[in-house]
Amino acid sequence: MKPNFVRFVCISDTHERLNELCPRIPDGDVLIHCGDFTNDGEKWQILKFNKELQTLPHKYKIVIAGNHESGFEGNEIWTLRNLKRNGKGTDKGYKFLTNCIYLYDTSVTVILLSY
Ligand SMILES: [Mn+2]
């Protein structure tokens, strides 16, 4: 990592296997997880991901939900889901993401200070 540069590291589709992938994720200033960190959005899956996120060294961690994070979308009509996803997920599951900045139809400004 060079001084006076910002390194973004973008990942997605870790599907409950972030812990296995952690050693291969490069360090950086901002980690962006572009969704599908779970298979079904179940609470235990979210908590597992949240715990594993904490082990990564990035200064900022930004996460959005993917289609596998069932229940994250507030206005979702659960009866329109396909059978495989029926009954799966966690209503407002994002509230269990305490080790990152969770974005949904919003943005964030991060400030990195160099010394
Ligand atoms: Mn996927």
Domains in the chain: boundaries: 8-102
Beta-carbon contacts of 81 under 8 Å, excluding residues fewer than 6 positions away, are 70
Per-residue pLDDT of the chain (115 residues; tens, 9 = 90+): 778 889 999 999 999 999 999 999 999 999 999 999 999 999 999 999 999 999 999 999 999 999 999 999 877 777 777 777 778 899 999 999 999 999 999 999 999 887 5
Ligand 1 centre distance from Cα of residue 87 (Å)? 19
Residue 68 Cα, ligand 1 centroid: separation in angstroms? 7
- Closest to 103 (Cα-Cα) out of 42, 30, 40, 48: 30
State in Å: Cα 69 to ligand 1 middle: 10
pTM: 0.91
Q: Say if residues 92 and 71 touch (Cβ distance below 8 Å).
A: yes
